[in-house]
């Protein structure tokens, strides 16, 4: 499938607009919607035999597809519902009686902040926040090095929702040098850039199906390295245990985090999203997105602030009002909590989409 064919398979409402908000939610193309409908029908028919066996088969197929896409062994990928769910799964592994320190950053989405704030309220967890660099692009590396000293865990985004990329592998190495584990929020990376999660070296990597993978809402994934700490896990169900009828003993791989059944339709949609992006080709995605972001940066001029993969952040005096006005004019972007605007450019977008945004501004 080429980018133009992908665009044709998008919902008609998206084809008629300059939809530049995939970083919030990627509209599912026809192959994803077809896969979901087929799975819904097949699961209904499977009740004559075993709906649980059907769900298990679809889950296994989806796990295999996603694992291959991000360079991980299938047994190291847990099925979740989204990035936030994955990060909370990691938070659930903390010792309730411990006095641990968690490091997060000023660039994080609430998914990478709220779970640790909650641990600070309910346990004895300390939270340290690394500030952004003074030029607004990246992290203060000296402050990061100081913050991770003595910490148990670091939570950071590979690409911040503010459109800032960080050198993940380098930051993971710094954390490991002090004995800290790392969970990476890869929501703004997987599907828009070539990601091999094992290259980063992090213990955990969480990402969703519904953004750059163009899959369904309600599906997400958590990569769990073989040495990831998880002894504090308390949630358990029949899918997470070795012998559910006899013992609560958990699997020793990522399946330990899959407590119960998931929707086969949602899982099938997630798999179809991965297969669709793979059919376009990540090299094609990266080349197209790079060209589009360069074009938008040029059109924005001094208003341009940062770019991370397909996310372009820029200034505006009235961001919420401007985002609403643009939507009414058929250009969909989003405002950010810090008072900036953000456009997300994926492979199905075109130079004409970028020009519509620039001209509307």
Q: Is 236 found in the same domain as 217?
A: yes
| Least confident stretch, 37-46, 98-107, 279-288, 310-319 | 98-107
| Least confident stretch, 172-176, 183-187, 232-236 | 232-236
Q: Is 340 found in the same domain as 233?
A: no
Please check whether residue 333 lies inside any domain of the structure: yes
From 276, 295, 310, give the residue that closes a domain: 276
What's the pLDDT tens digit per position in 217-268?
999 999 999 988 887 788 888 888 888 888 888 888 899 999 888 999 999 9
The boundaries of the domain holding residue 116 are 38-276
What's the Cα-to-Cα distance from 41 to each of 35, 52, 58, 125, 216, rounded to whole Å?
10, 14, 13, 46, 16
Q: Is 302 found in the same domain as 353?
A: yes
From 235, 250, 276, give the residue that closes a domain: 276
The number of distinct structural domains making up the chain is 2
Q: Is 292 found in the same domain as 182?
A: no
CATH number at residue 158: 3.40.640.10
Please check whether residue 32 lies inside any domain of the structure: no
Please check whether residue 103 lies inside any domain of the structure: yes
Q: Considering the entire predicted model, what is its pTM?
A: 0.94
% of residues, the chain, pLDDT over 70: 98
What's the pLDDT tens digit per position in 6-62?
999 998 878 889 999 999 999 999 999 999 999 999 999 999 989 999 999 999 999
CATH number at residue 309: 3.90.1150.10
Q: Is 310 found in the same domain as 254?
A: no
Average pLDDT over residues 275-288: 97
Give me the pLDDT at residue 124, please: 82
Please check whether residue 33 lies inside any domain of the structure: no
């Amino acid at each position: 499938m080429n980018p133009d064919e992908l665009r044709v398979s998008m919902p008609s409402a998206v084809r008629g607009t300059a939809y530049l908000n995939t970083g919030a939610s990627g509209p599912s193309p026809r192959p994803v919607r077809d896969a979901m409908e087929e799975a819904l029908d097949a699961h209904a028919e499977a009740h004559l035999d075993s709906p649980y066996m059907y769900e298990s088969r679809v889950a296994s197929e989806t796990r295999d597809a996603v694992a291959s896409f991000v360079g991980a062994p299938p047994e190291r990928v847990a099925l979740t519902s989204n990035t936030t769910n994955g990060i909370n799964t990691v938070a659930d592994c903390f010792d309730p009686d411990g006095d641990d320190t968690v490091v997060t950053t000023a660039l994080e989405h609430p998914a990478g902040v709220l779970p640790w704030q909650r641990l600070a309220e309910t346990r004895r967890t300390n939270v340290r926040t690394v500030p952004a660099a003074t030029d607004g692009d990246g992290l203060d590396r000296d402050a990061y090095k100081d913050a991770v000293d003595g910490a148990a865990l670091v939570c950071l985004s590979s690409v911040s929702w503010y459109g800032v990329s960080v050198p993940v592998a380098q930051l993971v190495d710094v954390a490991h040098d002090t004995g800290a584990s790392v969970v990476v929020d890869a929501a703004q990376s997987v599907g828009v850039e070539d990601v091999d999660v094992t290259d980063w070296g992090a213990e955990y990597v969480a990402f969703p199906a519904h953004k750059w993978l163009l899959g369904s809402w309600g599906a997400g994934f958590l990569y769990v390295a073989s040495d990831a700490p998880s002894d504090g896990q308390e949630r358990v169900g029949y899918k997470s245990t070795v012998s559910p009828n006899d013992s609560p003993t958990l699997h020793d791989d990522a399946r330990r985090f899959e407590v119960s059944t998931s929707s086969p339709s949602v899982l099938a949609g997630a798999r179809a999203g991965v297969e669709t992006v793979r059919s376009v080709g990540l090299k094609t995605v990266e080349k197209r997105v790079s060209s589009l972001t360069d074009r938008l940066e040029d059109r924005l001029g001094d208003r341009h602030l940062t770019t991370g993969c397909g996310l372009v952040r820029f200034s505006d005096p009235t961001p919420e009002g401007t985002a609403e006005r643009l939507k009414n004019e058929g250009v969909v972007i989003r405002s950010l909590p810090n008072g900036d605007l953000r456009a997300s450019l994926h492979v199905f977008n075109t130079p004409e989409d970028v020009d519509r945004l620039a001209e509307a501004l």
